[in-house]
Structure 1
């Protein structure tokens, strides 16, 4: 069809390149992390789950030193409790334009297990209050909840501190 002129040449060349990359991609090569960008309405459902799972939602950024320092603790919690009803979401406050240059390299370097999303919503005054009325907007900030029992922390965690809180939530009736 390409030679007949029914499909413009650019589409034929693009299709051929995509076919080549699909067929001959290096086996075993890691997939690019999929980092969705949400406004707050896209984040809200993660904050409103009512099943029997414990949720840990961490607000962080690659430029935030305390955030970076606590990331190994969060990652270890994700690894250690992967067989329990624990769901961890890392909400990056990095600019969406920094996904390729900062967020993805950070995920790779730290071998992050939890899902990462980027929050891009200019109305921070509104969504910060919706996350917690106690949140000043400083990061790191973490919401840990199970059903209606919610705890909000505007601080960095050590592994021991975080594990104590997560275990209590997981063991709640």
Structure 2
């Protein structure tokens, strides 16, 4: 009986704990190219942001809520444009403090002129920006989102 109690208690504690926040994964230009290429079968919501960008930080809860509500149908990918030197001192602590559950990638490429055209030819480099990718469809938004308008755009692309 004692052999069963400890594993059972451990299972209860694990199931009651909060999800662990994400840590940013550093990607380079090749990783960015891979992310921008292709026609995903699962809708991708790709948001470009930085910890130093107030509008970016203000809209992150909308992306987190979207990820939680539609986790089986979409992938929310947050691409940080913070300096890679700030990964452990600013980015990952920010993710932990804000309990960010979406995928987070930190782009380690200093030449915006090389990655901006991959995202959209109309992007002027300002953030936040969001790209929706689904099958052969793409929608680019150079704006800050509130949850309802983000959800409306996602659902219109998914035809729900």
Q: TM (normalized to structure 1)? A: 0.77
2:106 to 109, 118, 130: 118
> Following the alignment from structure 1 to structure 2, what is the Cα–Cα distance between the partners of residues 39 and 140?
20
Going from structure 1 to structure 2, the CA distance change for 1:32 and 1:100 (only over 3 Å counts) comes to farther
Question: How many pairs does the alignment contain?
Answer: 145
Quote the offset at 1:52 in angstroms: 2.0
Alignment partner, residue 129 of structure 2? 141
Quote the offset at 1:47 in angstroms: 1.7
Q: In the alignment, is the contact (CA less than 8 A) between 1:38 and 1:119 conserved in 2?
A: yes
Quote the offset at 1:147 in angstroms: 1.5
1:50 to 39, 57, 64: 39
Q: Secondary structure at the match of 1:101?
A: helix
Q: In the alignment, is the contact (CA less than 8 A) between 2:51 and 2:94 conserved in 1?
A: yes
Structure with larger Rg: 1
Q: In the alignment, is the contact (CA less than 8 A) between 2:66 and 2:151 conserved in 1?
A: yes
2:30 to 41, 59, 62: 41
- Name structure 2 gaps, 5 residues minimum: 1-12
Q: TM (normalized to structure 2)? A: 0.83
Quote the offset at 1:97 in angstroms: 1.1
